[in-house]
Amino acid sequence: MSSFDTLITEFLEYLEIEKNRSQLTIRNYDHYLRVFLAWSKATSISQVNFNLIRKYRLYLNHYRDEKGQALKSVTQAYYIIALRSFLKYLAKRDIKTMAAEKLELPKISERTIEFLEPNELDKLLSQPNIHNLNGLRDRTILETLFSTGLRVSELVSLNRDSISLLHDEFTVRGKGDKPRVVFLSTAAKSWLSSYLKQRKDNLKPLFINHPKQASKNSEKEITDLNANRLTPRSIQRIVKKYALLAGITKNVTPHTLRHSFATDLLRNDADIRSVQAMLGHSNITTTQVYTHVTDKGLREIHKKCHHRK
């Protein structure tokens, strides 16, 4: 039988080739499983049993980092999910080990999401100085995030030829390399058009870093057409910057705009299945976290529909 370490490597290769999981997912699973391997000091998969898992669960629950911070329940769940997936893979290969079904996930408190109210969104969008190229780019980024509900990784991967301003829609590839159609609002199309008209370069990325003091020969100096592409971290800093300028006390991230996009759709009577498709969620239960929106209308429904005769 292969060593424990080798089986983990083969499992990660299976995720990449057979399951078409993203490199980020594979890196995370690799980390979670290596932590278990280092903690358990197991050399053979036959050493994994119910008692070992119980001790591991206690270890995760009692773990504290150098700042004394405990692992959140959801983080502990990620470690267990990775281990359970690994055990399922071994069972598929007829390698005798502990049944994955015996691994129960930690109970996680109901997830809450942060989104912007319409007045907060208006304040945020009005912050960039649109009279310079970086400000115009930033306004366009904010409008595009809210119009499409794109993940930040999807946004930064866009190229100029990814979208056609003659149309209101374009295709992106999200998690698991799954394609989906996203839509541009009239406002987002207008800002994209204005931004691209001001671009003097021939670089491929839709959103790039514009040096404040570019040399006259800067275009000639750049030979890599993929150069200057903004990173997810850059987008996060941009969103955070304007949220602070707008005086918004919430922790505003690019994902907050994705949440705001979904919330806006549901408040305007979009059905949950359509929202699921536009967000690119594989499972409807992921989208159901947004049902907080419909909760606000329950009072009116109760008042209208339930009363003593």
- Active-site residue, selected from the candidate residues 32, 56, 89, 290: 290
> Known catalytic residue: 14?
no
Q: Count of CB atoms within 10 A of residue 196's CB?
A: 15
Q: How far apart are the first and last CA of the chain?
A: 74
Do residues 90 and 7 make contact, with C-beta atoms less than 8 angstroms apart? yes
Report yes or no: 36 and 57 within 8 Å, Cβ to Cβ.
no
Q: From the candidates 88, 241, 255, 292, which is the catalytic residue?
A: 255
Catalytic residue among 84, 189, 210, 258: 258
Half-sphere exposure for 168 (CA within 13 Å, toward CB): 5
Contact 224, 112 (CB under 8 A): no
31 in catalytic set: no
Active site residue 195: no
CA 151 distance to own-chain centroid: 5
- Contact (Cβ atoms closer than 8 angstroms) between residue 289 and residue 174: no
Active-site residue, 281 included: yes
Assess whether 307 carries a catalytic annotation: no
| Annotated catalytic residue within 151, 189, 229, 259 | 151
Select which of 175, 180, 199, 241 is catalytic: 175
Residue 89 to residue 33: CA distance in whole angstroms: 13
290 has catalytic annotation: yes
* Distance of alpha carbon 200 from alpha carbon 137, whole angstroms: 13
Q: What is the DSSP string of 32-79?
A: HHHHHHHHH--SSGGG--HHHHHHHHHHHHH-B-TT-PBPPHHHHHHH
List the catalytic residue out of 137, 210, 259, 281: 281
Place of tokens 């209208």: 304
Helices (H) and strands (E) in the chain, counts: 15, 2
CA distances from 255 to 93, 146, 241, 279 (A): 38, 10, 15, 11
CB 100 within 8 A of CB 88: yes
The answer to whether 149 and 262 have CB atoms below 8 angstroms apart is: yes
Amino acid found at 80: I
Residues designated as active site? 151, 175, 255, 258, 281, 290
